[in-house]
Amino acid sequence: MARLITLFTGQWADLPFETMCKKASDFGYDGLEIACWGDHLDVFKAASDRVYCEKKLATLKKHKLQVKAISNHLAGQLVCDPDNDSRSDAFVPAECKGNAEKKRTWAVESMKNAALAAKNLGVDTVCGFTGSSIWHMIYAFPPITQKDIDKGYKYFAKMWNPILDVYKRNKIKFALEVHPTEIAFDIITAKRALKAIGNRKEFGFNFDPSHLHWQGVNPVRFIEEFPDRIYHVHIKDAIVTLNGYEGILSSHLDFGAPNRGWDFRSPGRGTVNFEEIIRSLNRINYQGPLSVEWEDSGMDREHGAKEAYGFVRKLDFEPSRVGFDAAFSKEK
């Protein structure tokens, strides 16, 4: 049986949850990856109120949808981010705005409660970000040392180990979306992040090829390097459009601007090699959902989400259980 195809609701959180469910069902999706913002999921309420969770599950069932993962990216970002400017004020309750430590305290509790919310919803995976206290050091000027970078990974471990303890107790996995601005953004930093927390099994990855592709990292190589840590998969496409005028760092231009060096595209309309990704996922026996995270500034999102479902359904296939030439050696 082919894998479930789900739709991540993060880019649709302006819509009421029931409206989102109806649309996803109409588009053809098998389920949702539920974002923990908007009215889609309140992790604090879901962690303590089983009736609230039952109502969410009933709404999903009404529209013939399943849920295999929830995602708390916005809170996760604030755990290790410096949180010292207004960009993240929109992520937090009013009483936390403008106060870095209040943001961080709220974020840590949100991530812990996400594990309890997942358990109450009957899912075993929470996707999200970690933030990074050293991302701003990515270009080493003013000069930095490896000791500075080591401090960043030690801080990550200090902040995330207590969170992951909650995940361990509740048998929930945390899947980091490897991504610029996180403690892990490519293969090398992903290995370093794992090492920093002692390779504990609660921590793995939400594989999203789009963020690797534009950096020049081979997404298939990422799967091969972490075959036992791919806890969830995003289907998101990207394209590099360098022509000698713009740069790969995007020139402070908004997504969708014509002179960006790269951009996200609707699945199948960029240059990510999804064929090889599916084959690689088959080789590691990944059986979780393929979750469409739809982002394309140049396309209507409803058109794109519906088209993306068709693309992924056609793309996915089960691995062979026998060699194609095995019959040649069979005796009549």
Q: Which residues contact 258 (CB under 8 A, 6 or more apart)?
A: none
Kindly give the pairing relationship between strand 66-71 and strand 125-128. Answer: parallel
What's the gap between Cα 328 and its chain centre?
44
Single-letter amino acid code for the residue at 195: K
Residue 332 banded pLDDT, cuts 50, 70, 90? low
47/50 Cα distance (integer angstroms): 8
| pLDDT > 90 fraction of the chain, expressed in percent and rounded | 95
pLDDT of 247 over the 70 cut: yes
The residue type at 237: D
Q: What is the DSSP string of 38-65?
A: TTS--HHHHHH-HHHHHHHHHHHHHTT-
187 Rama class: left (phi>0) / alpha (psi -120 to 50) / beta: alpha
DSSP-assigned letters across all residues of 266-295: -TTSSS--HHHHHHHHHHTT--S-EEE---
pLDDT in tens, 308-331: 999 999 999 998 777 766 767 766
Q: What is the mean pLDDT of the chain?
A: 96
Q: What's the rounded mean pLDDT across residues 16-39?
A: 98
pLDDT for residue 86: 94
Q: Name all domains of the chain by residue range, CATH numbers in brackets.
A: 5-322 (3.20.20.150)
- Which whole number is the average pLDDT over 119-147? 97
Half-sphere exposure of 227 (CA within 13 A, CB side): 8
Residue 329: HSE in the Cβ half-sphere, 13 Å Cα cutoff: 5
**Spatial separation of the C-alpha atoms in residues 74 and 114, rounded to whole Å:** 12
pLDDT score at 330: 65
Region 20-42 average pLDDT: 98
Residue 302 to residue 318: CA distance in whole angstroms = 28
Residue corresponding to tokens 């053809």: 28
Taking the alpha carbons at both ends of the chain, their separation in whole angstroms is 30
**What is the pTM assigned to this prediction?**
0.96
- Measure the CA–CA gap between 276 and 220, rounded to whole angstroms: 7
Give the DSSP H/E element, type plus range, for residue 237: strand 237-240
- The answer to whether residues 28 and 306 touch, using CB atoms and an 8 Å cutoff, is yes
Looking at the DSSP assignment, which residues form a beta bridge with residue 125?
Answer: 173
Sign, CA dihedral 181-130-142-88, equals positive
